[in-house]
Amino acid sequence: MMLTRLACEQVSPFDPLVPTTPTITTMGEARVDNLKSFEGVAAVIVNLHAA
C-alpha cells in the first residue's frame, strides 16, 4: 500500500530525514559514550531477553 501511495501522491507518508525523539536521545547518548557495549551477538541476545 505504501508503494501505491508513493506512486499516486508522489510524496512519502513520513519524512525519513527527521529523526524521532528516541532516535535523537540515542544519538546523544552515543556521542557522550553512555551506550552499552557487547562482546558479540550472543551477549546482545542475552541482554535483550533479560529486559
State the pLDDT at residue 41.
96
- Provide the number of structural domains found in the chain: 1
Grid coordinates representing 4? 501505491
State the pLDDT at residue 45.
95
- Range(s) of the domain holding residue 51: 18-51
Domain membership of residue 7 (yes or no) is no
Domain membership of residue 40 (yes or no) is yes
Grid coordinates representing 19? 529523526
State the pLDDT at residue 22.
93
Question: How does pLDDT run across 16-31, given as a tens digit for each residue?
Answer: 788 999 999 988 988 8
Domain membership of residue 48 (yes or no) is yes
Domain membership of residue 6 (yes or no) is no
Domain membership of residue 46 (yes or no) is yes
Domain membership of residue 34 (yes or no) is yes
As a whole number of Å, the CA-based R_g of the chain is 17
- Between 41 and 34, name the one with better pLDDT: 41
